[in-house]
Structure 1
């Protein structure tokens, strides 16, 4: 009988760790399900609040545009190379329509600033999209200096031809 009691004692000891392991697995699973449900509720209810805030904001006015006269300049090249030309059609983007009327009288100044800068460029300065991006940023910076109280959001290219 001693063997039977010893065998039963070992079975209980082996059964206890298995039941504890099952209890831990059930607890972790329940915790994962609850945290998943809480996360889903948080994210789904948060979107409704953002949509309500977006609807409450007043609609933005569309930007206004100012046409700059076409520019045709020769680019700087090495002596003996053929002369290359740059033709650019530019539009200035401003926030409001009333700024257009304030900028129009200063368009000769804007054209002069653009001409002066563009005449110093080399054909290699305009290579690739990075070159055009740098040109756009530089023109935006220069036009904002020229139109000091007014600000231009962006300089937009309608046409660029290097010949």
Structure 2
């Protein structure tokens, strides 16, 4: 009986070893497939950049370097209040323009730009400026208004240098 008992004890140990090899083998296969997929993904990304994406990146970099910044004076505006709450906003803005000629075209129309900004901002409530979505809407609306005020000249972007809402 002891020989049979020893045989039964060895049999489960022999069955457990192949399962362990199967699990380890499957894990190695999964890692190899993941590594191959990553390599394929990374190599295909660099190939596209070499075939023309690099030229696009250089064009964008050249475009960014060719812009000029036109600083506007700081503006302080009382915001529209609900229930007697006095709140105000201090705003310093810069305009991004394509070239120096555009800066020369904006200078005589600066009073129209500031007027358009002031009229719009006086109607804002403090709640309109909460969160990044509120600041983004403000930025887009100021860009639209400045481009209307200086037409046919064109501003690329409105840049906030300082925003204070109290």
TM-score range, shorter chain: 0.5 to 0.7
Q: Which has the higher helix share?
A: 2
TM-score w.r.t. the length of structure 1 is 0.66
- Helix, strand or coil for the counterpart of 2:93? strand
Which structure has the larger Rg over C-alpha atoms?
1
Q: Which residue of 1 aligns with 2:51?
A: 49
* Root mean square deviation of aligned Cα: 2.6
TM-score w.r.t. the length of structure 2 is 0.65
The within-5 A match list for 1:1-163 is: 43=44, 46-50=48-52, 53=55, 59-60=62-63, 61-81=65-85, 83-163=86-166
Q: Deviations over 1:7-57 (max 9, x none)?
A: xxxxxxxxxxxxxxxxxxxxxxxxxxxxx9xx89x9465543326745986
Q: Distance in 1 between matches of 2:58 and 2:93?
A: 36
- Helix, strand or coil for the counterpart of 1:78? coil
Q: Distance in 2 between matches of 1:74 and 1:55?
A: 43
